[in-house]
Structure 1
Amino acid sequence: MKRLWLIFSQAVTVFLALIFVISTLKPFWISSFFTSLADKAFEREEDAVVESTHLPNIEIKPPIYDSKGFRKAAKRAMPSVVHILARQQSTVFPDNPFFSDPLFQKFFFNDLNPFIKKRNSALGSGVIVEKKGLIITNYHVIKDVTSIEVVLSDGRMSRGTIVGVDPETDLAVVKIQLGSLSSIKFANPDSLSVGDFVLAIGNPFGVGQTMTQGIVSALGRDTLNLNTFENFIQTDAAINPGNSGGALVNNTGKLVGINTAIYSKTGSSVGIGFAIPIETVRFVTEKIVEDGEVLRGFVGIQLADFPTAVDLNSSKNISRAFIRKVVKDAPADKAGMRPGDFILAIDDQKIKNSKQLLKIIAQLKPGTSTDIFIRRGKRQFTVKVFIKKRPLLR
């Protein structure tokens, strides 16, 4: 027994001595050995878990963009976005004291023409919405121009002609005479939500077609006082001068808006841009193509909002909209409406503020009549007003 114990002790001593020598001279042998054992143990444990686990049938939705980013959306949308070069001709007076002298102007103005014709160019963007050559852009891009040059994404050029304009939404339709055009697809107006990815496509600073990416920051912005009728999409996608009239598309490349303006003290993007939503774009485009203009209702009143809501009989009947001015001989004037009247409802549709009221009146068909429920002092009554065509704002 003692002999066996002696042999065991000697074997353990030799083994420990061997371990000591190896750890001193080749320490990485030991670390790699134990790491290998740990990995094998982990793999066996992982296999056991997989074999014993039954996952439920869960539908895994693919990501909204793949590992290659938004290239599919870009491929679909970018061929439909064009560059617009709008030329204006203005008359300026030379900066010269000789021409500014009153005696010179009195005796020689009729014989000499010191005015100089100056050509100005403005850069913008547009979106092909129909393969026949219809392009939607911003009105301010082509306002008061003498010529329009349109450059396609494939490099082709064409002279553009104005089909119609709608200054009150800052939209215009231009037509070009070219074949093999790629028209953009419209998104569902109700498909956009705050937080969605969007892509802005245009020609910023004239550097060439550019796409930037951002999200929808807000919807329904209507207090910017940029246009008469507002319902802007706000986005942080970079929009810069030259992007006006360009496309704002979703992650599938469908049009959700027309880029229009930015909030900036420097003139460059600071992450607050605005686009006209697709429902307005579609409505204005269709009306211009059908009628050459957008026909809207008009009653001849200037509106304002009272600082706080006026409670009329109950909390269900609250209106802040009141008449600030009545245009002489306009339908409202003939119906007996006066400055200071609060407008409570139009054809049983309750009014909350002046923006809503203006939109409702604009949607009324010229040549028809409507009932307007108003409050004057303590009196509440209804007047019938004849709807006229809203004068075109230039």
Structure 2
Amino acid sequence: MQQRSSSHWLRYLLRSIALGLVVAAVVIWVQPYISAWQASRAAPDQPVSFAKAVNRAAPAVVNIYSLSEVRGSYYNRRPNTVLRLGSGIIMDNVGHVLTAAHVVANVSSIQVALQDGRQTSAQVIGSDPVTDLAVLRIELDNLPVIPQDQQLRSSVGDVVLAIGNPLNLGQTITQGIISATGGRMGVINSHADLLQMDAVINEGASGGALVNSEGYLVGINNAQFRGPAGQGVEGIYFAVPYALAYEIMTKLIEEGEVVRGYLGVNTGDRPQTQQQPGILVTGVDTNSPAERAGLRAEDYIIEIAGEPIASSQEGLALISNTAPGTELEVRFIRGNEELTTTVTISKLRY
């Protein structure tokens, strides 16, 4: 009887110890979550701030002042000197500055002002009228460089900050979201794959940085891009995406210009009678590679250099990236007949 009682108490004791250990383990496991919940309730709501992004990116955005001469009037034949405002972005520590081409086009001198108070002259390395981008070079040490991520791609809805010097008021920041990405046909020309956003871009802010909420460069702002009829629209602004701008910048630094292939066709929407993806030719430039190869209006291009073509953007990109002098086989439909011709790509003239 006594042995049975001792065994009962031993089991009770062991059960109590095991239960206590389980409870202790549970308390230890949930304690951090309880502490975090209590801290979040005790702390006041923090306002949303992009100060960290601005502090990372803004020092690398510079003010650009360029001087140009304009012909005088009938009554005053002396040329007038005009001050042009813009912004730029320091892209590396050797002094390459990316900006909008129209900011530094046909100017006699360029001055660059950094946010730390330093000023210096700048030299134009090269410019690209298609994307309206230009690269400058400045000779200064200890330069702030804009944060960059070559794998970064923007999405509709991303928060963006536009940094520049609008109207020479000093560096300012405007905030918005990306409204559309890519395929902005007719905005400036079909080569430029632009970002559309509602962050305000005024005169003087062209060439400035468009950064994300972490301060990484996502685009180069441009106040000159307009709608198809040349009109400006309130709340709709554009920037050249970083990936495209970086590609153009690299070519300008290495070669001094951007060489693009030229076919010489105007294109339109796919007709309803065509189920196969392709490009409808609506016109052919006189004495162009397309005309010399026998292409005509109403031809329907379905393949270039063995690559199926699904859209005008695809076809234009393929031609643009083809070196002048290259021969490409083009398959197309004319009426009910499928034909093939060979075109020799020439250099796009601006």
TM over 0.5: yes
Matching residue of 1:231: 193
Q: Deviations over 1:279-335 (max 9, x none)?
A: 110110011111111121123x13120473441xxx3x233431402331x332332
In 1, the alpha carbon distance for the partners of 2:226 and 2:295 equals 38
Deviation at 1:76, TM superposition (A): 1.0
Counterparts of 1:184-333 in structure 2, within 5 Å, are 184-261=146-223, 270-299=234-263, 301-306=264-269, 308-311=271-274, 315=275, 317-328=276-287, 330-333=288-291
Q: Deviations over 1:156-194 (max 9, x none)?
A: 111111100110111111111111111112234553211
Deviation at 1:221, TM superposition (A): 4.2
Deviation at 1:217, TM superposition (A): 1.5
2:300–2:332 contact (8 Å) kept in structure 1: yes
Give the fraction of aligned pairs with identical amino acids, expressed as a percent. 37
User: Secondary structure of the residue that 1:239 maps to in structure 2?
Assistant: coil
Counterparts of 1:355-394 in structure 2, within 5 Å, are 355-391=313-349, 393=350
**CA 1:335–1:270: 2 relative to 1, 3 Å:** closer
Candidates 68, 81, 84, aligned match of 1:88: 68
2:184–2:190 contact (8 Å) kept in structure 1: no
In structure 2, give the amino acid aligned to 1:318: P
Matching residue of 1:351: 309
Counterparts of 1:173-188 in structure 2, within 5 Å, are 173-188=135-150
In structure 2, give the amino acid aligned to 1:143: A
In 1, the alpha carbon distance for the partners of 2:142 and 2:194 equals 32
In structure 2, give the amino acid aligned to 1:376: R
Q: Deviations over 1:331-368 (max 9, x none)?
A: 32332223332222212323344333222210112232
1:169–1:228 contact (8 Å) kept in structure 2: no
In structure 1, give the amino acid aligned to 2:241: P
User: Secondary structure of the residue that 2:79 maps to in structure 1?
Assistant: strand
**CA 1:335–1:307: 2 relative to 1, 3 Å:** closer
In structure 1, give the amino acid aligned to 2:189: N
Counterparts of 1:88-167 in structure 2, within 5 Å, are 88-95=68-75, 115-167=77-129
**CA 1:334–1:203: 2 relative to 1, 3 Å:** same
In 2, the alpha carbon distance for the partners of 1:208 and 1:223 equals 33
Please tell me whether residue 334 in structure 1 is matched to residue 306 in structure 2.
no
Deviation at 1:55, TM superposition (A): 9.9
In structure 1, give the amino acid aligned to 2:119: M
In 1, the alpha carbon distance for the partners of 2:173 and 2:233 equals 14
**CA 1:306–1:238: 2 relative to 1, 3 Å:** closer
In 1, the alpha carbon distance for the partners of 2:69 and 2:199 equals 33
In 2, the alpha carbon distance for the partners of 1:227 and 1:170 equals 11
Q: Deviations over 1:238-263 (max 9, x none)?
A: 22111100000011111000011366
2:266–2:281 contact (8 Å) kept in structure 1: yes
User: Secondary structure of the residue that 2:71 maps to in structure 1?
Assistant: strand
In 2, the alpha carbon distance for the partners of 1:73 and 1:293 equals 33
1:84–1:125 contact (8 Å) kept in structure 2: yes
In 1, the alpha carbon distance for the partners of 2:301 and 2:32 equals 59
**CA 1:227–1:260: 2 relative to 1, 3 Å:** farther
Counterparts of 1:23-62 in structure 2, within 5 Å, are none
Unpaired stretches in structure 2, ≥5 consecutive residues: 1-25, 38-45
In 1, the alpha carbon distance for the partners of 2:339 and 2:233 equals 50
In 2, the alpha carbon distance for the partners of 1:309 and 1:121 equals 52
Unpaired stretches in structure 1, ≥5 consecutive residues: 1-49, 61-65, 96-113
2:281–2:296 contact (8 Å) kept in structure 1: no
Deviation at 1:135, TM superposition (A): 0.6
**CA 1:324–1:55: 2 relative to 1, 3 Å:** farther
In 1, the alpha carbon distance for the partners of 2:153 and 2:347 equals 33
User: Secondary structure of the residue that 2:91 maps to in structure 1?
Assistant: strand
In structure 2, give the amino acid aligned to 1:116: R
1:199–1:251 contact (8 Å) kept in structure 2: yes
**CA 1:146–1:354: 2 relative to 1, 3 Å:** same
Query: What is the RMSD computed on CA atoms of the aligned residues?
Result: 2.9
In 1, the alpha carbon distance for the partners of 2:272 and 2:66 equals 46
Matching residue of 1:72: 52
Candidates 145, 166, 170, aligned match of 2:132: 170
Deviation at 1:376, TM superposition (A): 1.9
User: Secondary structure of the residue that 1:360 maps to in structure 2?
Assistant: helix
In 1, the alpha carbon distance for the partners of 2:226 and 2:319 equals 29
1:205–1:242 contact (8 Å) kept in structure 2: yes
Q: What TM-score, normalized by structure 1, do the two folds share?
A: 0.72
**CA 1:331–1:197: 2 relative to 1, 3 Å:** same
In 1, the alpha carbon distance for the partners of 2:84 and 2:244 equals 24
